[in-house]
Amino acid sequence: MAKRIDARPLLVLVLALAGCVNFSALDNLDAVTPPTDPFEAALFKNFAFLAHSFGQVGQAQYASFDQEASRSISRTDDNLADLANAYADKALKLSREEVVDPEPSLDIKTHEQRDRLARALNTGREAFPRDAARAQADWDCWHLNATVESQRPASEACRRSFEVTLPRLEAEVAPVVAAKAKADADRKKAGPAQNDSADDSEKL
């Protein structure tokens, strides 16, 4: 009679090995649900596109992510897998309704440009979500791609795009900001007069 083999130890070993597998942000990207907010959804789409734009890059060499991608990349080395996972991690954060700020600036000149972007995003997120998302994606692409030598030409292309998308966003939000400032000023002017009218009515 054939000898029966107990498969339980093998199953335990397989499960133990499965628990040791590191999942990258790029591995998890296609399994998550995009955010519903228009700005965040557009930004998610842009980052997902950038993450997949490098093709089959394999696992990141010096960074790993758990299944929830709770560990983020703040710096990348000369490795396309790290770069792809940096973009994927941004998209995953958006899917978890976390705030994803633009990448830090590199010097005084770019710091001023980042300030301009931040001001435009304050209004643009709601008023012009797609254009706001594109401007932030261009900024991040410019700065992140610059960290990988082979992607310097792509970084330069993103910089040129940013120099178009940021002024466009600023031009779009300018009338909205001006109208809001005027409305606020009108309310301040009308406030004391309205209070005086209310006082007069009470006296009558």
54 occurs within a structural domain:
yes
- Return the pLDDT at 126: 96
Q: Which of 39, 72, 99 is the last residue of a domain?
A: 99
Query: What domain range is 120 assigned to?
Result: 101-190
pLDDT above 60: residue 204: no
pTM (global) more than 0.85:
no
- Return the pLDDT at 56: 75
- SS3 label, residue 50: helix
pLDDT above 50: residue 106: yes
Rounded to 10 deg, the angle between the 129-145 and 152-203 helix axes is 140
Do residues 129 and 157 both lie within one domain?
Answer: yes
Phi, psi (rounded to 5 degrees) for 34: -60, 155
